[in-house]
């Protein structure tokens, strides 16, 4: 049988299975008894079609289509039912694995943040007068020579901790929502934040006040930028769902990615609160540079360490032991299902 005959003979069955998957929406019991039995027969038939297509038509787009169909069918048939977990389980396990599940968006967001900081720092060192326009007003005094402290005492800044929380959440939401602009909005906001930080760093290096900046930024800055980066990764997931929906409609693809992306934002919120508390009550005391460095590395290092250990290593361990929802047959792997949001 050639490819054209194969597609003509079997595409109707593939469309039927796709229709079953839409109606079931992850729960085959929604199809009723007869519908669930028919779904099982169609799934097995399409699995056989995939095996045949892999052997006869390797490299053709029809193989990718069948792989996606079969992996979605496997997840619907064999996937573990997702139940609402406790907030503790979500924050200690699911949140970190969710970040690690899509390394592409995470890498894009991280690279954008780091690159914008580095480039803006070089710009600030080369042309501090121009770069000063990007610096927030309360930090501009750092550009003056021989500055040993920034204006605003600990009491004043600590009293504004509530506004810090609100600002951090607003920035995170803006980074996340920018994903609806095909991910470009998220990248833009990440780059803009990185440019502000980098410009300030370059200006203070030029003025000889870089140690002052570090004392005021390091305690909260690493964790804060990390949280914005994760929010950006969640937004990029939304954007990629619109750019590359696969065999789903763009609306279906966006709905599928919206739940895990929102869960990422919910999980990031407590970390933003911690960064805000640090900025409001620790940073204003202008700790000695070694102490500021220790606080910043402790918070930021712990955050990325959990992404590595609880996220990436947890994902690999779950896949090896077969406890990961995606470990169900067949070998074509489905998109990781969204974890349940923590119960109230």
More confident residue, 344 or 302: 302
Q: Please report the pLDDT score of residue 212 as a whole number.
A: 84
More confident residue, 85 or 169: 169
Token representation of residue 33: 């008894």
Let me know: does 50 contact 71? Beta carbons within 8 Å.
no
Residue 103, number of CB atoms within 10 A of its CB: 14
Residue 238 has pLDDT above 80, yes or no: yes
Q: Please report the pLDDT score of residue 332 as a whole number.
A: 36
Percentage with pLDDT > 70 across the chain: 82
More confident residue, 16 or 157: 16
Q: Which of 68-77, 102-111, 141-150, 304-313 has the lowest mean pLDDT?
A: 141-150
Does the model's pTM come out above 0.75?
Answer: no
Q: Where are the domains of the chain?
A: 3-78, 87-327
Confidence of residue 145 (pLDDT cuts 50, 70, 90): low
What does the pLDDT average to over 83-91? 76
Q: Please report the pLDDT score of residue 104 as a whole number.
A: 94
Task: Specify the residue for token string 């929102």.
Answer: 262
What does the pLDDT average to over 39-62? 91
Q: Please report the pLDDT score of residue 79 as a whole number.
A: 64
Percentage with pLDDT > 90 across the chain: 49
CA distance 208 to 1: 75
Q: Please report the pLDDT score of residue 108 as a whole number.
A: 97
Confidence of residue 249 (pLDDT cuts 50, 70, 90): confident
What does the pLDDT average to over 154-177? 68
For residue range 284-334, list pLDDT tens digits in order. 887 899 999 999 999 999 999 999 999 998 777 765 554 444 433 333 333
Q: Provide DSSP, 84-153.
A: PPPHHHIIIIIHHHHHHH-HHHHHHHHHHHHHHHHHHHHHHHH-HHHHGGGS-GGGGGGGSTT--S-SS-
Q: Please report the pLDDT score of residue 340 as a whole number.
A: 46
Q: Please report the pLDDT score of residue 89 as a whole number.
A: 87
Q: Please report the pLDDT score of residue 129 as a whole number.
A: 87
For residue range 196-236, list pLDDT tens digits in order. 999 999 998 998 888 888 888 899 999 999 999 999 999 99
Confidence of residue 44 (pLDDT cuts 50, 70, 90): very high
Q: Please report the pLDDT score of residue 119 as a whole number.
A: 97
Residue 335 has pLDDT above 60, yes or no: no
Q: Which 8-state DSSP code applies to residue 183? A: T
Residue 181 has pLDDT above 90, yes or no: yes
Residue closest to 87 by CA, chosen among 262, 301, 277, 270: 270
- Long-range contacts: 41-49, Cβ < 8 Å, 24+? 42/13, 42/16, 42/17, 43/17, 43/70, 43/73, 43/74, 43/77, 45/13, 46/13, 46/14, 46/17, 46/70, 46/73, 47/73, 47/330, 49/10, 49/13, 49/14
């Amino acid at each position: 049988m050639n490819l054209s005959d194969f597609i003509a003979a079997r595409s109707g069955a593939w469309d039927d299975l796709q229709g079953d998957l839409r109606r079931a929406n992850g729960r085959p019991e929604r199809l009723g008894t007869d519908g669930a039995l028919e779904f099982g027969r169609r799934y097995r038939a399409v699995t056989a079609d995939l095996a045949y297509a892999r052997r006869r038509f390797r490299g053709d787009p029809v193989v990718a289509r069948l792989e996606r169909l079969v992996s979605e069918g496997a997840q619907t048939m064999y996937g573990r039912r997702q139940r609402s977990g406790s907030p503790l389980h979500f924050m200690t396990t699911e949140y970190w694995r969710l970040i690690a599940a899509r390394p592409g968006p995470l890498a894009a967001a991280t690279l954008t943040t780091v690159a914008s900081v580095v480039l803006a720092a070089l710009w600030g060192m080369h042309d501090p007068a121009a770069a000063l326009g990007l610096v927030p007003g309360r930090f501009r005094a750092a550009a003056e020579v021989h500055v040993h402290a920034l204006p605003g005492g600990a009491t004043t800044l600590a009293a504004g901790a509530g506004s810090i929380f609100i600002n951090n959440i607003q920035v995170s939401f803006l980074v996340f929502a920018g994903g609806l602009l095909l991910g470009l909005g998220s990248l833009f906001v990440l780059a803009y934040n990185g440019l502000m930080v980098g410009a300030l760093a370059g200006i203070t290096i030029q003025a000889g006040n870089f140690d002052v900046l570090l004392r005021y930024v390091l305690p909260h800055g690493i964790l804060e930028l990390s949280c914005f980066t994760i929010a950006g990764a969640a937004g990029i997931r939304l954007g990629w769902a619109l750019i590359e929906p696969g065999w789903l409609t763009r609306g279906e693809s966006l709905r599928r990615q919206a739940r895990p992306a929102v869960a990422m934002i919910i999980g990031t919120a407590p970390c933003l609160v911690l960064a805000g508390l640090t900025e409001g009550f620790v940073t204003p005391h202008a700790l000695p540079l070694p102490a500021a460095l220790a606080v910043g590395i402790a918070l930021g290092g712990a955050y990325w360490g959990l992404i590595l250990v609880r996220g990436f290593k947890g994902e690999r361990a779950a896949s090896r032991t077969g406890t990961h929802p995606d470990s169900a047959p067949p070998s074509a792997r489905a998109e990781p299902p969204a974890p349940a949001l923590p119960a109230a």
